[in-house]
Structure 1
């Protein structure tokens, strides 16, 4: 039975690595996964899912106008797909999360989404909010703070490593802009 999964975490917990491992597992068994990633994150090349440990895969791009259900319906008319894997799923819109539920319910294809739960201000991303509400299975991928506690918050930093408390929700970056920390160190850093 196909289901919608949401694998979520703070930054640097291995979401892309886990996605790439899942894609490999499907391929190793002779199955055909399809990989999507957000068009706005092109740090490692356009149409690429890349992990910090060096694994990568080609991917189809989505932006806030992409109709994922229609796209998957067209793909499945051409070839059989056994799984949909979505990286950077926090950037999905509410409508796109609904479309992914349609992929699961109507096309009967499992969908595995990987993304951040919250932004640097501790607020849910739109895609994450609806995945948390509508997914059949929620899986938290864990990473740790510098103190050893579970990191569940993200701090955005400036070019000098100082915490930033305000700004646009989306600013693409990696370890150069973001640090995953526990809630205690998040509050300390931002004096909340």
Structure 2
């Protein structure tokens, strides 16, 4: 039975690396996958990049108003048509279809889009692996992550460590190298003098930097 998976972790926990590895594993077995990410993640444009230097272009981008199930159906049909047009038809009919949909930066999806991920799984019979962070720099859940926590068949935490060696839980924001705890929920890393960066932190270190503030 197909399932909706949410694999989450703090920044730099290897989410994109895990996604690209999952895609490779499927394709190594001759299966087709589709990769997608929200357009709000402007870093690397239409590519998914891991910290290890591996990159890959997505099959489609998802903006805040997009019907993600319709986009998936469109690209699934393309994969099926390409399989039918292949010079050597695939002997296994299941291999002519999409085996899995993989979503990067899934925290940026809307609630309705996450609902449609469940429909893709249940009604269309295709597993969906969504990767993202759970909370923002103010320790508040992203709408997409909150809905994935509510709906996913399987939740898996990808772990990373704080600078002190404890398990990182939160994502602290720095602007120009200084910690900030106010601002818009979304601010993508920027290569400017006042560039936005993030640091994965344990609860103890986060509270030390924020002066005890949460949210």
- Shared fold per TM-score greater than 0.5: yes
CA distance in 2: counterparts of 1:21 and 1:96, whole angstroms: 24
2:172 partner SS: strand
1:166 paired residue among 173, 177, 182: 182
| Contact persistence 2:68–2:113 (CA under 8 A) | yes
CA distance in 2: counterparts of 1:74 and 1:170, whole angstroms: 29
| Contact persistence 1:6–1:112 (CA under 8 A) | yes
| Contact persistence 1:73–1:107 (CA under 8 A) | no
Alignment of 1:1-192 (within 5 A): 1-44=1-44, 46-59=45-58, 60-78=60-78, 79=80, 80-159=97-176, 161-173=177-189, 177-192=197-212
| 5+ long unaligned stretches in structure 2 | 81-96
Give the C-alpha shift of residue 12 in structure 1.
0.2
| Contact persistence 1:69–1:100 (CA under 8 A) | yes
CA distance in 1: counterparts of 2:120 and 2:138, whole angstroms: 32
The TM-score, its normalising length taken from structure 2, stands at: 0.86
Give the C-alpha shift of residue 176 in structure 1.
5.4
Deviation per residue, 1:123-149 (Å, 9 max, x gap): 000000000000000000000001110
| 5+ long unaligned stretches in structure 1 | none
CA distance in 1: counterparts of 2:158 and 2:100, whole angstroms: 20
| Contact persistence 1:7–1:113 (CA under 8 A) | yes
Deviation per residue, 1:4-37 (Å, 9 max, x gap): 0000011000000000000000110000010001
1:2 partner SS: coil
Deviation per residue, 1:55-101 (Å, 9 max, x gap): 11111111111111111222233312110000000000000000000
| Contact persistence 2:187–2:196 (CA under 8 A) | no
Aligned length: 190
Aligned CA RMSD, in angstroms, stands at 1.3
The TM-score, its normalising length taken from structure 1, stands at: 0.96
